[in-house]
Amino acid sequence: MSIVSLLCFLFLITNKCLLFCTTAVSDANLINDRLDTKALKKLKGVLQSRKTKHVVETKGAVNDVEVVARVNDIAITINDVVNYIRFMFYTVGREYDEKYAKVIYKYILRKLKRACMIESFAARSGNFITKADVDAEVKNMATANGQSVDEFVDSLKAMQIDYEIFRGHIKMQLLFGGIQNSLVREVEGDIRREDVERRVAFETEQQKKYRVRLLILSVPYRNGDSKQKEKIELIRSFIEQGMLDILLNSSNNVTDTGMVSFDSLDEKMRKRIKKLSVGECTEAYVDENMYKVVVLHDTADPGCEAQSKSTYKCYECSIVYQGAFATSSDVNAANSFVESLNSVDNEEGFIEVCNKYNIKYSEMDIERPSNYLVNAFKRARFIIMPAADDEGKIRILFFRKKVVDKAKDVSYAKCYEEMCNEFARRKMQQIMRIAKAMCTVRVEQRELP
């Protein structure tokens, strides 16, 4: 697993815990109807299930000049926010860009404030993440990346990511993950068999139709306010440059329709998205006093799995490029090899170039490719993975074709799991409201300097 995947894992968990994506399932309201009856009866027990007497992972002293917000006695610094944004840029293979960072700054600050609220609330209930917990997770990440802990830390430094702040983010993710998993286990008894069976029948019928998943991004419309117009155009620029993941994990102003049948959309929406390919977006338009941009995030043909669940068939090879094992001759050969690949647009050409430079290659299947890979392969037929191994070799992936499977039968277990997660997300929202009421929040810097 590359560092890209690891960082992506870090902030996606937070997104799953804090954002609820709307769905088109007709019986969604019954979840809200029954949540209030048991609300947070067992919440204290859930949070106390992870009590510990070990040393708690805490944040060191900070310079007051760097503080941009405080949640009770927890300080959020400008470095906390900027480092988090750096993670997000890196996960989509982009250099940190201050122009775009300014757009998402307040959303990231809001996300970190919420995380601190949960941390403060959970601590009062005896739920702590220890230094040993964080150490173990860092070791797991380093091992998954084929590195020692020291090598992994050096890799973070090379990306200008502060290690102590990185540990703070790991701590937050472990806390969120623990609470989310506990909530899922808690709500399992709230799911009625007839409700699950109704969803199975609904989703089975949906699979027979052409389906789309839309993301609707919005900012308030103010007549004559050019800044709002500039903001929505910057949002479109994020999408067009393959940085949609950054928006999804920073903005609250995103509506996710889930997979819905194309025919169920109103006529205006059908016209807007009809000519879009997956990953493309509409022009900005005004609706209900909001500037809006619609992204065609996913599609599924009748009887087929969604495009996002496809398999990318690739060739994989490695070349010596850096490190103690690389000679100047190796580096020159690697540069020539990559230069030759730039003119290749088919499998036969790739094989020919590999044979010319005596490079071994193998077939590789990537199931459910990440947005990073999908966007990278849209820009080029091959990609160079950013992290080198211990021998200074870098991996190159060459795209061959995409395979989309026939849709699997909708299972009772799948629908049951989906409904448990929906119940848990709603309880997490209730926790957030309680946590906010228990916290004193001060914001001292609302814009990125």
pLDDT tens profile 35-61: 333 434 444 443 344 333 344 455 555
Q: Distance (Å, rounded) from C-alpha 375 to C-alpha 243? A: 9
DSSP letter at 309? G
Question: Using an 8 Å Cβ cutoff, are 310 and 377 in contact?
Answer: no
- Which CATH architecture best describes the domain 3-192+423-443? Orthogonal Bundle (1.10)
pLDDT < 50: residue spans in the chain: 1-56
Q: Give me the CATH code for the 208-306 domain, please.
A: 3.10.50.40
Q: Which positions ≥6 away from 386 have C-beta within 8 Å?
A: 2, 3, 4, 93
Q: How far is CA 151 from CA 11, 143, 223, 379, 422, in A?
A: 22, 10, 53, 31, 39
Structure tokens at 290: 């909001």
Note the Cα 98 to chain centre separation in Å.
Answer: 20
Q: Parse the chain into domains and list their residue ranges.
A: 3-192+423-443, 208-306, 311-403
Q: Distance (Å, rounded) from C-alpha 349 to C-alpha 354? A: 9
**Res 34: pLDDT:** 38
Structure tokens at 42: 């067992």
Q: Tell me, what amino acid is at 335? A: N
Q: Distance (Å, rounded) from C-alpha 194 to C-alpha 68? A: 49
Nearest alpha-carbon partner for 249 in 108, 82, 424, 154:
108
**Res 103: pLDDT:** 80
Q: Which positions ≥6 away from 87 have C-beta within 8 Å?
A: 7, 10, 11, 161, 169
**Res 142: pLDDT:** 84
- What is the side-by-side order of every strand in the sheet holding 211-220? 254-261, 211-220, 290-300, 285-287
Measured from the Cβ of residue 283, the count of other Cβ atoms closer than 10 Å reads 10
